[in-house]
Amino acid sequence: MATVLNVQNLSKNFGGLRALNEVDMRIDSGEIVALIGPNGAGKTTFFNCITSIYTPTEGEVRFTPKSGTESRINGMKPNLVTGLGMSRTFQNIRLFKNMTVLENVMIARHCRTKGGILGALLRTPAIRKEEQEIVDRSYELLKYIGLHRYYNDLACNLPYGEQRRLEIARALATEPSLLLLDEPAAGMNPQETASLKQLVLRIRDELDMAILLIEHDMSMVMSLSERIYVMEYGCMIAHGTPDEISKDPRVIKAYLGEDHA
């Protein structure tokens, strides 16, 4: 299987605080991989580093999109990383709150379209066609996620669980090869979590992408992921299949708690 993401020796310092310490990770195409760890372990920081929101202090991030060659992406502009085919959601929801649900998804089509200023002013047939394609494609995605009923509502008026799903729709609209989900089930009730699980599986199978997922909901992590990475205090302390991880003594001590032993 082809490697999509290859992270080596990644470190990130915030002043004196070492939030990431020589972290390695590998994701193959079509895999669902989970990243777990106690609060403050550095999971979100890891996401921010590989998507170039932060510049890593040390290390290498290599990314190979579905159709393309491997490139080194650390230090690249975040929008270019997205353009290459890596897309993410945010732990603390970052929707465009005062825009409609449809517009939120339409914005994510920005990097896959190219209408410029002149086109906008003259409104040429080509531009109009492109605009309508953006609308159609975005609406299609909303339908795929099951949010099309709300398409004309403001994003901030959506229920919390739906906002998380909208973030996923928005991320999908950039046509990623690797989808990064930062605690997608946080704040969801059991039904919502169950349907989210279905959605993640569907996305992987039907849209053919690798998924890296940060999650605190252990049942979700165990049932969804093929491999799990465990982080603590910025270090990768273990990695393996769900079975191996749930038996690993270090993980049990650090994360799952003594009662799982």
Question: Which residues are near other proteins by CB under 8 A?
Answer: 51, 53, 77-79, 82-83, 87-88, 90, 94-100, 102-103, 106-108, 110-113, 115-117, 119-121, 123, 127, 130-132, 134-136, 139, 143, 148-149, 151-152, 170, 174
Does 187 contact ligand ATP by CB under 6 A? no
Does 41 contact ligand ATP by CB under 6 A? yes
The answer to whether residues 210 and 177 touch, using CB atoms and an 8 Å cutoff, is yes
Binding-residue pattern over the window 38 to 67 for Mg ion, x denoting contact by CB under 5 A:
------x-----------------------
DSSP state of 208: T
Instruction: Kindly give, in sequence order, each residue whose CB lies less than 8 Å from that of residue 31, ignoring residues fewer than 6 positions away.
Output: 1, 4, 210, 211, 226, 227
Does 91 contact Mg ion by CB under 5 A? yes
Piece of 21-29, 40-48, 80-88, 166-174 that binds ligand ATP (CB under 6 A): 40-48
In the sheet that 3-14 helps form, which strands lie side by side, from edge to edge?
Answer: 17-28, 3-14, 58-63, 71-72
Q: Which residues of 63-96 are buried (b: 16+ CB within 10 A; e: fewer)?
A: bbbeeeeeeebbebeeeebbbbbbbbbbeebebb
Cβ proximity to other proteins, 96 vs 233, nearer residue: 96
Site of interaction with ligand ATP (CB under 6 A): 14, 17, 19, 37, 39-45, 91
